[in-house]
Structure 1
């Protein structure tokens, strides 16, 4: 619902931080994201937890 260009532009204009969910049907965006230098970004935090009968790792 919120992975829309107009919504992202509004959030950026307000100076906010956000995360966008990118689904598999957004092929062009997923391709662009795959080519970003992810390994160069330092890992600042990692949490491990459990909820709803599954293990969650957040980095």
Structure 2
């Protein structure tokens, strides 16, 4: 198992709950999220920048 620091750009959602679900779904595509944070929001582009630490099994995901 290895850990990785990643960034992702997520479209802003209608509600905070939907945004959280969208972030978690995107991060789970890349591995198992240990922690994440929204570090930047671009209102004009309607995007949120997310930084996360994930784990990936050595057998691949």
After TM superposition, the score normalised by the length of structure 2 is 0.22
Higher relative contact order (CA 8 A, sep 6+): 2
Is the radius of gyration larger for structure 1 or structure 2? 1
Q: Identify, as 1 or 2, the structure richer in strand.
A: 2
Give TM-score scaled by structure 1 length.
Answer: 0.23
